[in-house]
Every structure is written in structure tokens, then in C-alpha cells.
Chains A and B, each alone.
Chain A
Amino acid sequence: MSVGIGLLTDVLLSGTVLMLGLWVILTADRLRAAIGFLIYGLLVALVWVRLGAPDVALTEAAIGGGMIGLLVLGASTRLPPEPPRSPGAPARPRRWILHVIAAALSATVALGLALVVLGLPEPAPSLAAAVAAELPATALENPVTGVLMAFRAVDTLFETVVLVLALIAFWSLIPDAGWSRRPDWLPLPHPPPALVLLARILLPIGVLVALHLFWIGASLPGGKFQAGALLAALWALVMVAGLARPIAATERLVRVLAVLGPLVFFVIGLGGLWLAGDFLAYPEGLEKPLIIIIEVVLMLSVAVMLGLILAGLPSADTAVRAPKARPGTEGQP
């Protein structure tokens, strides 16, 4: 019976994901597509749950759905409204050809992939057994955390460096005249009292949830990236509600916090070169405390960097800052 229900769930879920994906692509309204994309991310997270990958599901929900969804939503509200297409004008026929070609290419890739994936060896060769065998040496219980913090720690380290560079790249778009100004995308000119109240109530609860997510990461699905993303979202909410002002790029404190995670990771990794014989190896007996230190600072850095990106950019001229198009939409979801 449970197989039947599982199958029904899977069919319903994959059908909904496909339909929603198609709808997001085809829908003309930017804001609707953005909200659709947010929901799409959450549904894809459910697909990962069904595939037995709760770690991926949490990350997809926090980063793929939540974070990116928020960014897309923010971008869609900030773009100038599209000019309405006049009914008489031809609807740019060359675009259609491009769309058809793109769709055909995507379909080919998807079909080809499906064929190849179905032809993969069964059971799939995997390192899961090797990870399980070596996991005790890392003093961790969650194999995913073992891979991220021990076996492939270098990739985790460099991913956080990529995040620092993404922040630099984002800030390099600040107009020269606005370099030392605070970003002004998020704060609502007149935040409704309900929103302010919501922010006040959600903040402590959210922080607790984030800390819980972080702490269980050592043994269960969860961890620093998901917790960091949640903290960043809370910070964004607080900024929208006007409870905290966004921070300017020239502020050294946030920059130090942003690089603290990778920096501490590097220092501990280099310490391993002398104390444990290898770069990014942990001295015996100190694995757990060192990994927890790294994860705490990484969570902090991830939260700060994602929050700074969510906060947006300052405009060159304070006069340009105008609370015009579609007030209130930022807080809507």
C-alpha cells in the first residue's frame, strides 16, 4: 500500500513540478514568474526528500528556492515595467524561432540524459561505503558533513571563497558616487505595523531555528549553509521592516565578518600542515572542536555575505531613491 501511495505522491509531485516549471517559463508577468519560481524551488526540495536526499532538500529549499527566489523577486520588482505589447504589432517573429530552437535543444539534452542515466550501471558505483568506513576518523556522525568538512574540505573552503568573490563582484556594480552610501533596496518608506511586528516576533524564533539547524548538522541533515541562509533572510526581513539599517560597503566590520569564515578555515587548515602532517587535516582528538569552530564562523560569514547581497546596492544619487513602483511588494511573500 505504501508503495502505491509513494508512487501516487511521486507522480503528482513530478507532474506539478513540470507544470509549474513550464508556467514559470511561459508566463508573461515578471512578478508572477518570480513567485512561481520561489514555489518551484520548494517543490524541487520535496522531490529531493522523495529521492532520500534530505541534505540536498534542505539546501535546495534554503538556497535554490529561498535565497535565489528572493533575489529574483527583488530584481523583478526593481526592473522598470515592461511596455504593454500593442495588439496590432507583430510579436517579433525571430524570437519565436529562437525559442523553438532553444526548446528543441533542451529537449534533446533532457532525452539524451534520460537515456544515458537509465543505462548507468546498477547498482551505481558509489563512495558511500568508503565514506562510512572512514567517517569515525573524522569524529563526525553525518556522512555529508564528513565529506564537506574532512574528505573534500578543500572544495567547501573554496566555495566560501567563491561567495566572497561573488560579494566583491556584486559590490563592483555600485555606482562610484554611491560607494560609501548604504544600500537602499530593502527598507520600505513606511513599513506597515503588522510587518514590523512580524519581524520582531520572527527574529528570535528564526535565530533559534537557525541555531538548531546548525547544531544538528553534525549528526543529521542540516548545517552551516542552511542556517546561514536562514539568518540572512531574517536580516533582510529586519531591514525591510526598518528595524535595522542596511550597511554600506565601506564598513570594515561586515567585511571582516565576511572573510572571517574562510580565513579561520585557512588558518586551521595550515595549522594541520604542521600539527597533523597535511593541509586541511585535523590533529587527532581535536577534530570535533576544530570543525565546530570552522562551522560557526562559516555560518556567520555565509549569513553576512548573503545578507549583504540581499540588501542590494546604494544608488549614485540619493534623490533617485524613490519609493515608487509597486510599493509593498518586497514584503509580500
Chain B
Amino acid sequence: MSAGLMDWAGLMWMLMRALMQALVGWSDALLVALLVLPVLAMLLGFALGGRAAERIALWTLPLGLAVALAIGALVLHQGMPLEYAMGGWAPPLGVALRVDGLSAALLLTTALVITGVGLYARADFATPSGVAETRASLAFWTLLLGLWAALNAVFIGRDLFNLYVAIELLTFTAVPLVCLKGSPENLQAALRYLLFALLGSVLYLLGVALLYGAYGTLDIAQLAAAVRGSAEPAALVAVVLMTAGLLAKTALVPLHLWLPPAHAGAPAAASAVLSALVVKGSFYLIFKLWLDLLPPQYGQQIAQGLGALGALAILFGGVLAIRQTRLKMLIAYSTLAQLGYLFLVFPLVLSPVTLLAATGEGTPPAWTGGVLQLVSHAFAKASMFMGAGLIAIAMGHDRIGELGGLVRVLPVTLTAFALAGLSLMGLPPSGGFAAKWLLLRAGLETGQWWWMLVILGGGVLTGTYLYRVLAVAGFSGGESAPRPLQPVARSRELIVLGLALVSLLLGLLPLSSFEVLKIGREGDETAAVEALTQPAITGAVWP
């Protein structure tokens, strides 16, 4: 028996090895597929229209997920980033793509969330029988695929103009998702979003032009080397301009005005991708600008400013979330607050203490914490928005005060809401806990106690607004159990629960597993491979 098991294990191992060997030969095609697959599906869906658009989109979900998984497996297997020069033209003349550990994790997050959203949205955006095509379903499925391509392009891009095209693609898919319902309020929210996003694009493009004028290349790695060589004032001005633009797209306070009405007014499936993924795309670029492009000593003053805005977002978003009367508005303000945590990464990573300690030691805990916050919030928030959509279907409204007895109508959804809430609050055992704990530790280690106060205060605020919902929905119901206005498919509830569970389980991963994020961080591949063999990150900060 046990010998048979050993054989099986051996066989599986050999199969895996053979698969990886095969994948290595296909790595270029896989990288290209990240962009080509969703775009081709979008183009075909749009041309064929009607039910074909939905069918093509649904078929693309498993394929795209498989590509993201294969890419992740390859990066892990090789222990170094995948790179590809488009058309065989190397930078600076051509455009290159690159997938390192962080990109691979984000690609996989994107694929999982979009798969969940796509399966969930089937019920909302199916073309009704008897109609050849409806506006909303055609737009939703093609835009979802376009958005996927845009996010993939953002996460694997390393050329600043190529990334500009990617964020334009993201904007042009995200904005119409806001007004799919077509009401005047939706249109107003979408228009406001569009104006903020376009302002962001202009500022970003200005910065790109300045950098090209100063250094004659747009490749991030080449720019980083050039800036290290000769620091032009133009470089800092350019990065500040680009950051300001990207902040408008990320909706960091005080450029947040567009986010709550846009995210709360969109259909639930659209809100989920907007809140979970779209705002992270522009954040990822800010992250790359300050941590990859500019030398660390450049950013220390401005990092404190970014951190301060993040802190403001945490507190302001939290307080406003408490005051909301609509569930979707509450979740939207919660996004505002959770985005704030991401910006605490800058003062914590760029602190002189971290920089001194981290030389040759790989990534500091605040960096890992930031990434973990980004990923776990993506899953938790996608789950929450889609859960809110189910609640609105079952109850006919999303007024928090009147959700009494929800626990008896949608127990699975409410459980998912609570589990996702754990991650937002930063309670163990959740991905959000690990993230906030790493950020707290970084605050302690770098002696920046004020950020620790903000993180703890933000947790209390998050707990308060989530408790408001759970207290009403979970415990008060009165005598008569409310009946759902419209039935909700159990499968949709399970998707919501699944995403919440992922955000929870991220916290149960051993910290050492986050070492994969480091792949390709150090510039040269050997350092990354060595970093992989090191013990858990817990011991890696102080020499």
C-alpha cells in the first residue's frame, strides 16, 4: 500500500517536472498570452455580440487563470523573473515585459478575482431569452475582458509609455463599468471618475515625457540605473507629477471624491473589480516609481507625505464609513480607508533604518506587508461587494438599518461578509492581520510609532463600521423571519464565500512562503535565488 503510494508520489513528481520542463519552452508564448488572450476574446466577443460575447468571456476565464497559474509556477520553478522583448527589439528602442515574483502574485490575484466575478456575474448579465442582445451584457463582458488585459499589462509592463497605454486601457474599461445601470446618478459618478482619471493620465504622461527628455529611455530598469548615475532634478519632478496623477486614479485622500459614488453605484460585479483590482493597478505603478525607479534616498521626505495622506485616508475613510446608511456606500468608504494602509509602506520601507538593515537582506517586512494588504484586500473587497449585491437582491434594498434578520435569509453571504471583515480589521487569522502586523512591526523597528497608532486606530474604526452591519444583520430579526424578495442562487453565495476564504487563508500561509515575492527584486538573479534559500522573513530584518 505505502509502496504504491510512493510510486504515485514519484510519478506525480516526474509528471510535474516534465510539465515544468515543457512550460519553460513556452515561457515567451505564455507571457504574450497574458495580453493576447483577453484582448482577442474581447475583440471577438464585441464583433459577434449577444450571447457569443458572454460565452467567449466565460471560456476565457479558465484559460486566463491557467495562464496566470503557469506563469506563477514558472517563476517559482526558475527562481528568477521572466523577461520578454516585444518583436525582438530590446529596450531602450523596443518594449520589454517582465514578470517577477510580485507581478506573478498580482497576476494570479487578478485572474482569481476576475474568474470569481465572471462566474458571479452570469446571473446578472445573461442575455435574456427572446432578445438578441442587450446593451448591458455586451458592454459588461467585453469590458471585463478588456479590464483583465489592462491589469495584466500594468503588472508585467516595464516601459513607462507602454504602462501609460495600459492605464489608459484600464481607465476606458473601468469608467463605463460605473455607469452600466445608466441612471443619471451613475452617469454623474462616471463622468466625475473620468475627469479625475484623465487628469491623472495627463500628469503621468507629462512625467513620462520629462524622463525621456532627461535620460533618453523609458525602460524602468534602465531609468533606475541612469538616475543612480546622474540625478537630474527633472527625475524627481517627473516622478512627483506622475505620482500626483496616479494618486487621482488610486483615489487617495484628498483626490478621493470620485470613488464612493462610482464604486457604490456600479453593479455589484463591476464594483468588485473596481474596488478590488482597478485602483490597485495605479497604486502598483506608484509603488514601482518610488521603490524601483528612484534611488531610496530621493524619496524619504515625500514618503512621509504619502504616508500622511495614507493615514488621513485610513482615519477619514473609517469615520465616513461609520456614518453611512447604505451598505454599498459603507463598503466603498472602506476601500478608501484600506487603500490608505498601502501608502504607509512608503515611509516604512524608505526609512533610513530599513534601508540600512535591508542591504543584501532582500525585502523589508513593510514591503511584504504592503503587498499582502493589497492582495488580501482585493479578495476581501471583491467578496464584500458581491455579497452586498446578493443582499440587495434578497432584501430589495441595502439600507443598513433595515437588514435585520439577514442571517436567516443569507447565512452563507453574511458569514463571508464577516470573514472578509476579519481581514479588513486585521484580526487573526487573516491575510489582513499578517499585513497589518508586518506594517506594525516595521513601525516599531524604524521607530515611527505614529504610523502604528494610525494602523491600530484604523483597525478600531474598521471594527466599528463592520460591527454596525453585523449587529443588525446577524442578531436582530424580530419574530417573523424575513423571506427573500427574490431567491439567490447558492452557487453565487459560494463564490462570495470562496473569495472571503482566500483572503482569510492568506494569513495562514507561513511567512516564509512570501519569499517568492522577492524573486527578481535584487536586480540580479543570483541574489534572488539565494534569497529563496534563506529562512523565514521573521529573522531576516536585523542582521
Contacts and interface: CB of A to CB of B under 8 A. Distances in A.
A259 B136 contact: no
Contact of B213 (A120, A131, A154, A249): A120
Contacts, number: 177
Contact of B179 (A109, A121, A173, A266): A173
B300 interface: no
Interface stretch (B32-40, B392-400, B409-417, B469-477): B32-40
Contacts of A155: 95, 161-162, 165
B92 A127 contact: yes
A273 B143 CA distance: 27
Contacts of B134: 176, 179
A326 interface: no
B3 interface: no
Interface stretch (A25-33, A79-87, A158-166): A158-166
Interface stretch (A67-75, A145-153, A222-230): A145-153
B153 interface: yes
B146 A281 contact: no
A26 B136 CA distance: 39
Given A263-B43, A270-B36, A116 B89 contact: no
A256 B93 contact: no
Interface in B99-113: none
Secondary structure at the B interface, as helix, strand, loop or mixed, is: helix
A125 interface: yes
A274 to B, nearest CB: 10
What's the interface size class on B, roughly?
Answer: 35 or more
A165 B146 contact: yes
Contact of B133 (A121, A162, A179, A280): A179
Contacts of A126: 216
B135 interface: yes
A119 B234 contact: yes
A44 to B, nearest CB: 15
Given A116-B210, A117-B210, A255-B46, A150 B169 contact: no
A169 B174 CA distance: 9
Nearest to A155: B165
B194 to A, nearest CB: 9
A179 B47 contact: no
Interface string A249-291: 1101001101100110010011011001111110000000000
Contact of B49 (A169, A252, A266, A278): A252
Interface string B190-215: 00000000000000001000100111
B309 to A, nearest CB: 17
B28 A130 contact: no
A7 B35 CA distance: 48
A127 B93 contact: yes
A168 B176 contact: yes
A252 B232 CA distance: 53
Secondary structure type dominating chain A contacts: helix
A158 B169 contact: yes
Interface in B112-144: 132-136, 138-139, 142-143
Interface residues of A, number: 57
B168 interface: yes
Nearest to A270: B36
Contacts of B87: 150-151, 153-154, 272, 278-281
Given A176-B182, A179-B134, A162 B165 contact: yes
B11 to A, nearest CB: 33
A125 B222 CA distance: 13
A259 B47 CA distance: 7
B173 interface: yes
Contacts of A273: 28-29, 32
A204 interface: no
B139 A172 contact: yes
B284 interface: no
Contact of A154 (B95, B180, B232): B95
A323 interface: no
B165 A174 contact: no
B172 A279 contact: no
B169 A162 contact: yes
A171 interface: yes
Nearest to A128: B216
B447 interface: no
A36 to B, nearest CB: 20
A134 interface: yes
Nearest to A267: B40
Contacts of A263: 40, 43-44, 47
Given A151-B93, A165-B143, A273-B28, A120 B214 contact: yes
B173 A278 contact: no
B133 A125 contact: no
Interface in A132-156: 134, 150-155
A189 interface: no
Interface in A211-257: 249-250, 252, 255-256
A88 to B, nearest CB: 30
A32 to B, nearest CB: 23
13 contacts: A120-B234, A127-B93, A127-B216, A150-B87, A151-B94, A152-B162, A153-B87, A154-B87, A155-B161, A165-B172, A168-B142, A175-B182, A179-B135
Q: 10 closest pairs, A vs B, by CB? A: A125-B216, A169-B176, A172-B139, A278-B88, A280-B87, A259-B43, A165-B172, A279-B32, A172-B176, A281-B87
Given A262-B43, A263-B40, 6 more contacts: A158-B153, A162-B169, A169-B176, A250-B49, A259-B44, A280-B86
